[in-house]
Amino acid sequence: MIAAFEFARATWVAAALAAAPATAPVDGPVAAPAVAAPDVPAESPVAVTARLGPDPSHVGDLLTLEITAAYPRGYSVNLPIGVSFEPLHMVELTEGEPETTGEGLRKTFTVTLQHFAPGPATVPTVTLTYVDEQGAIQTTAVPAVAFTVDALLANEADPQPRGDDPPISIEYPNTLAETVVYSVAATLVAALVAWWVIARLRRRRRPLVLAPAIPAHELALEALAELERGSLLGDGRVQDYYVELTEIGKGYLERRFGVEALDRTTDEIRRALLRDPNAVAPLSADEVIAFLQRSDLVKFARMRPDGSAAGDDLSWVRDAVERSRSDRNPAGEAISPDPAAPEAAP
């Protein structure tokens, strides 16, 4: 009888388990189904690191941010013109020369900054631009850097102004101080007198203004036409072709805008345009630098441009000259002489 009861109970338990759902409910939150990870974009060929010192610092201290970019040969990197590190104040930006690191190059940008608020702070992420071997302009991000600014009165809960120290009595004559004061005063008087005399002499001289014999755009267009008619590209002398094309472009910048370019490297011209981006208006400083960097890749990195790239660069220089020639107004229209103006005497 007992064996029959145990057999019936086992049969009932097996039937109940078979009818139960395969997965029992679990107390607490249920894990969400796995989601496929988004595709990760390909890494940039330019690796960028940033380092800031000193850390921690005090309010108003000069902070040095070193941005180091490692990139392949045939590339060039730079920070954009007018880059901002708000809310930090940028004091100075220095661009180092490229260094060889075996298979690639390395370039360091040193930025001097100041921050005037105590507490935790962060140098914001900025954009670094680079030109690849095909002449295309790409961008990559400079990582943000966290730092701490300590207050100068961190150990005083309620700082109060302190009184002035009592004056110190000098019981003996300070002849050295008197000599220094009188010497400085005499130097200032002599400088003022010399400035007044030079100013009077300059007023008497009439400035002689010489008009340029040939406008800058005419010289540039004539040189471009002669280069286009030449046989440098047909003979395979691509580097000589870009040397002449670059000289024509630099000569036009110097004659038209007064920007010293013929005896300067591309980095030196870029630093000058970084200080005054409107020096080549209506042209864009970025497009001028991009053209010079593409030319440097051909002249110094032995890069051979595609079939139409050389002609496109010459066309760009011609278009830049036409857009910025001195006899056109800012809208690009030719300036006609005023019919009411008197004719110049021969």
- Reduced to 3 states (helix: H, G, I; strand: E, B; else coil), residue 129 is strand
Distances (CA, A) of 232 to 101, 307, 311, 314: 35, 14, 12, 13
Asked if the structure places residue 62 within a domain, the reply is yes
- pLDDT computed for residue 265 by the predictor: 93
pLDDT tens for each residue of 203-244: 766 556 666 578 989 999 999 999 999 998 888 898 999 999
Residue 36 counted as domain residue: no
Domain count, the chain: 2
* Mean pLDDT value across residues 136-160: 83
Domain contains 26: no
**For the whole model, what pTM was predicted?**
0.38
Instruction: Pick the closest to residue 121 from 69, 65, 48 (CA basis).
Output: 65
pLDDT of 317 reads: 93
Burial class (CB in 10 A: 0-12, 13-18, 19+), 272: middle
Q: Residue 125 belongs to a domain with what CATH number?
A: 2.60.40.740
* pLDDT value, residue 264: 92
143 or 331, which is more confident: 143
Domain span including residue 258: 216-324
Same domain, 224 and 307: yes
Per-residue model confidence (pLDDT) at position 206 = 59
Which of residues 150, 171, 193 is at a domain's end?
A: 150
Whether 316 and 220 share a structural domain: yes
- pLDDT at residue 33, rounded to an integer: 40
Residue 11: what pLDDT? 44
- Of 106, 124, 150, the position where a domain reaches its end is 150
Instruction: Among 98, 117, 150, identify where a domain stops.
Output: 150
pLDDT at 160: 72
Average pLDDT over residues 152-163: 69
**For residue 115, is pLDDT > 90?**
yes
| Residues belonging to the chain | 346
Q: Which whole number is the average pLDDT over 291-298?
A: 91
Given a cut of 90, whether residue 187 has pLDDT beyond it is yes
